[in-house]
Amino acid sequence: MRSDKDILTAVIARAVSNGYDFGKNVTRIEDVVITSFNVEEGTLALVLRTSSKRVIQYDHYKLLFFEMSFAKALFGADWEKHLYELAVTDNILKYLKQTLTL
């Protein structure tokens, strides 16, 4: 069974492969490393392998999904509908796992 971190990694990989740019032209999943992810507390830290190593820390990983360009890259044309669903679900990872073929 896939862990929560595996699911999140696959989700980020999909968004990146669909054109999401983490900034500084970080557009390859190989350049994005999840260094910590606590699903209960929701905290997430990403390291971007750029020329000047950059760390992005989220107090809650859900913030990632509500960036419009991330949602568009992840869900495509139906992004707005999925964002509504993400806003009301009590388990974002479960929703993503059920909705996306990861």
Q: Is the dihedral of CA 92, 96, 97, 98 positive or negative?
A: positive
Least CB distance to other proteins at residue 81 (A): 9
Nearer to other proteins, 36 or 84 (CB): 84
28 vs 87, beta carbon nearer other proteins: 87
Nearer to other proteins, 6 or 59 (CB): 59
Give the shortest CB-59-to-other proteins separation in angstroms. Answer: 6
Whether 62 contacts 42, CB under 8 Å: yes
Minimum CB separation from other proteins for residue 69, in Å? Answer: 6
63, amino acid identity = L
Q: Over the Cα atoms of the chain, what is R_g?
A: 13
Binding region for other proteins (CB under 8 A): 22-23, 56, 58-59, 62-63, 66-71, 80, 83-84, 87-88
Q: Look up residue 34 and give its amino acid.
A: I
Q: What is the DSSP letter of 48?
A: E
